[in-house]
Amino acid sequence: MSLPDTTEYWWGVKSRQPYCGEIYIHIGKICNHYKPESGNTLTSTWLNDINCHACKKLIKNNGNIYGLKEGISPTQQSEIDKERNKFKHGKCSKCGQPMKIRKNKSQNKDFKGCSSYPKCKHTETL
């Protein structure tokens, strides 16, 4: 998705509403919030809410309207990446929390340990 001239949207000459709907669907798919089979459809209320909240949030996070060009601002993308990477090393088989790479100081070897340590002391070898 690309915008023809972002300055027209910035100054309010053109409506951002059609692009906001596309952005909502794009972000919703990434975050698994948008499920068309469950009856989630874009209504005019949603578009107005997105126009009020999402656009301003994108502008605030990115500093300008160019955050709309990719459909997501760099700040929001880094938050999504953090969430994805949280379970990069799997889940703890005991408590279900994400596993982290830790270092054994005495043997100088890496291992996977539960991120909820010291509550859960489950470890796995790499």
Nearest by Cα to 109 from 126, 121, 88: 126
* Tens digit of each residue's pLDDT (9 = 90 or more) over 46-69: 443 443 344 444 444 444 444 444
Sorted by where each begins, the domain ranges of the chain are 6-84, 87-125
pTM of the model: 0.36
Q: What is the pLDDT of residue 83?
A: 72
Angle between helices 74-86 and 55-62 (to 10 degrees): 90
Structure confidence by residue, pLDDT tens digits, 75-86: 777 777 777 777
